[in-house]
Structure 1
């Protein structure tokens, strides 16, 4: 699965349509809210809070068939049938320039009774297709805050004309116009507080070729693993419908994400040793999460993002580097940690300290569910040896094995400052969810403004790929170009070396 963003995604010329479902209230108490959901949604309505799954069908399909399959997917996953809203009275004016109101983020809350949010179940029923037109004014790099209606209806009605056909004369968009229109559309309809905060889109090329499907979802409801689940489930349900079978009948049961949140809330307090270690790590960072230790320039306000994607190792080269790791009794991630540790010591005289997302799908019961099954840890290392790097990874996984809410509550939530550095590691080969590469699947991120550095290492059958996002300042462009070049060069060193040699 290719990791990209909406300004670079692989798409095609064609007619772009969006399918909006009908939403109505459902009976039931508000559902529990996870620590990360609370952090994310409490920032309020804003563009760029979503991610998307994009893929090309390998056979023709009508939009109505795709919509029916999407309803089957929604019916499988509880988080896609939930809506966030502010609790009564939690509507203090925002200072973000948006007319949709939000409260200031409270101290010491991690979801549950301390949040100003509700998460309510809703009914999802069939809605309508609309054909999207090109965005007339090119969007600037990064995000800009837009005005929203002062008091939008809780469940806005979809456009009329369900099952709208692609008519002669409907606008045909170039690939670049598709990218721009998708960005503007998802920024609007996949808002954290939208009802619902997800949307199905289809690009239909001329000549009857199979369409491309793009599904945008606010991050509060999905992680990268979830995007694979969505692609697998939709293509399976679509194939079932086209062959006369009940959609998704053979798919595994998908437990709701809210049940996972409840499991975490019911856990006993974290062990004192783990809390002490978190306190040590935060103290070493001046009371905040790790920051990138090399010059990034003026980060007093978020800057337009720069995104770089590097194809680091092809399959044969990846095998050589993995053999190098295996010869030292470690995995590939330890090689990457070793490389970054050595570079930070040489270039800045600092240890490696990075936020390290860890998935919380610890039991097979969660493998086939859609949700934000992520907690955060810190990976800290000052010894570039492979053995020490291996130990640092193991400790980070241990730090991420406990719910963060009780640990971060004394800090008023996860303490972050401009310049925060995060590293994500995703090896698709090790996941129990497989998506056919023939579908050309893509994990599509939004375009945002940022004041931090995020690096993704993605491994799949095509090799090792690196994606980095950083703020667009003159200093950061120089620093990050040099640093990324060095990371790539050193990751490639074992390709032609004896695998028994040390890094």
Structure 2
């Protein structure tokens, strides 16, 4: 499953239909359940940005192998909204707070609407559009109409390809407050089954799950019990304390940023220069299925799993690029800790601080054990909300360097994703310094998606690091092990430096 921006998805030419949930104003009621910490912070940021809010969504694109039936699709989307209370909630901004003041609950009023009070309006084009015009249309809809302060929070567009009358593409975009990466993935199976059930009259065989609104309220109760002496708060404070150890010389800041060689200056921005508004983005396959299997078997032979192998390869890449083998980052993890949250739509994401320490190891095989151990050091912190901890310890810097590894092979329907042209999507992102790596293992191999600064030298550093990372993976695939030192390249005949060369 690739994780890309919409611009990188091969949208077909075809007839576009916009599907917009609708509701009567008088059917909404006030709801007293508290917002999750992430939801509250996200909404507060939307208030601060105001009319400049743009390109802040996540979504999914995939093909359904049936003709598009408008009645069946309308039924599908009504049922989708009915199944997830998060989709049927809205926020009203009711009061302002002083500049710099933390987000407060009483800034917003939450409203909800009953499942049977949501309808769906369809707007179908009379003529097909080119692939470019389809992209521009979908991108504009999602960029300008999806907002945490504006309902609906999830919009759907379908495209009936001009070259295939027996299938159609479904693309949806949503605000992050009602969706996370797992929701993006689960929706492929869910929407396909709902559509087929509406088309055929058969049962969809889908499970029923709880409400993200209930989870959010429970999370706030959890957060309210934290104080400065709570063990989880103390551990985060230690992780985010000023760095003095030489092993983290490439990442000196309390909140880990992307590593930089200690003797390299940080980015210098010329006064008055205009920075690119959006980050660079890439998605590429690191390993094919056979290479992935060989890498995994090498990790297993060393007594570890593939995640530990990926983390060890990151450490070796860091050593080769910056001279430091330790690596610090933030790892996002899901907080679906109870069965009732299993496939509920919502933002079920926690943060784990990670400090990988291979110690004195100088080979992949020797390092994978210590790296696996240190990667698990703070694992349980992912279920504790970070926002109240950040307030308690006075830390306002958001995550700067984020690394995610997920094995999605076990997800229901994963074996059909390639045939369905399925991809999870993200909008373009505005940030001058954040670096995010998403590494996904699926049936078709191991994929890397990344976003990072567009400016030099920031972008150059990321590309150099990723080249080193990919090289380490391939060395392990080839030999079952590798060294922290970059192997000497064998010079081919006729190349500069070879015997008899020019």
TM class by smaller structure: 0.7 to 0.9
| Long gaps (5+) in structure 2 | 244-251, 362-366, 485-502
Residue 174 of structure 2 is aligned to residue 217 of structure 1: yes
**CA shift for structure 1 position 478:** 1.9
Report the alpha carbon displacement of residue 39 of structure 1 after superposing the two structures with TM.
2.1
Query: What is the rounded CA distance, in whole Å, between the counterparts of 1:361 and 1:323 in structure 2?
Result: 29
Give runs of aligned pairs for residues 339-378 of structure 1, distance below 5 A. 339-350=313-324, 351-378=326-353
Q: Which residue of 1 aligns with 2:101?
A: 106
Question: 1:329-384 deviations in whole A, cap 9, x for unaligned?
Answer: 21111112112223323433443111110111122221121111101121112326
Asked if residue 380 in structure 1 is aligned to residue 387 in structure 2, the reply is no
Decide whether the 8 Å contact of 2:298 with 2:476 is kept in 1.
yes
Alignment of 1:331-342 (within 5 A): 331-342=305-316
Give TM-score, length-normalised by structure 2: 0.82
Separation (CA, whole Å) in 1 of partners of 2:253 and 2:284 = 33
Report the 3-state secondary structure (helix = DSSP H, G, I; strand = E; otherwise coil) of the residue aligned with 1:19: strand
Q: Secondary structure at the match of 2:33?
A: coil
- Does 1:226 find its partner at 2:226? no
Scaled by the length of structure 1, what TM-score is found? 0.82
Q: 1:177 to 1:71 in 2, by over 3 A?
A: same
How far apart are 1:287 and its partner, in Å? 7.3
**Structure 1 residues 84 and 105, CA, compared in 2 at 3 Å: closer, same or farther?**
farther
- Which residue matches 1:159? none
Distance 1:288 1:63, change over 3 A: farther
Q: What pairs with 1:254-265 in structure 2 (closer than 5 Å)?
A: 254-265=209-220
Deviations 1:217-258 (CA, angstroms, capped at 9, x unpaired):
111111111012222111111111111246x4x211121111
- Equivalent residue in structure 2 for 1:493, among 472, 475, 496: 475
- In structure 2, the partner of 1:310 is 284
- Contact 2:2 2:449 survives alignment (8 Å): no
Q: CA RMSD in A?
A: 2.5
Distance, in Å, in 1 between the alignment partners of 2:412 and 2:169 is 24
**Equivalent residue in structure 1 for 2:407, among 396, 420, 427:** 427
Task: Give 1 or 2: higher helix fraction.
Answer: 2
Could you tell me whether the CA contact under 8 Å between 2:12 and 2:130 is conserved in 1? yes
Counterpart of 2:207 (choices 244, 252, 255) is 252
Deviation of 1:36 after TM superposition, in Å, equals 1.5
> In structure 2, how many angstroms separate the alpha carbons of the residues matched to 1:197 and 1:411?
33
Q: CA deviation at 1:298?
A: 4.3
Name the SS for the 1:474 alignment partner: coil
- Consecutive unaligned residues in structure 1, runs of 5 or more: 93-102, 132-165
Corresponding residue number in structure 1 for 2:443:
461
Q: How is 1:409-488 mapped onto 2 (pairs within 5 angstroms)?
A: 409-411=391-393, 414-416=396-398, 420-431=400-411, 434=414, 436-437=416-417, 438-451=419-432, 452-488=434-470
| 1:7 positional shift | 0.9
| Structure 1 stretches of 4+ moved >6 Å | 299-302
Among 109, 113, 118, which residue is 1:122 paired with? 113
- Take 2:378 and 2:132, find their aligned partners in 1: how far apart are those partners? 40
1:181, 1:487 → 2: CA distance?
Answer: 37
Q: How many residues align?
A: 445
Post-superposition offset of 1:57: 0.8
1:326 has 2:300 as partner: yes
The equivalent of 1:16 in structure 2 is: 16
Aligned to 1:279: 237
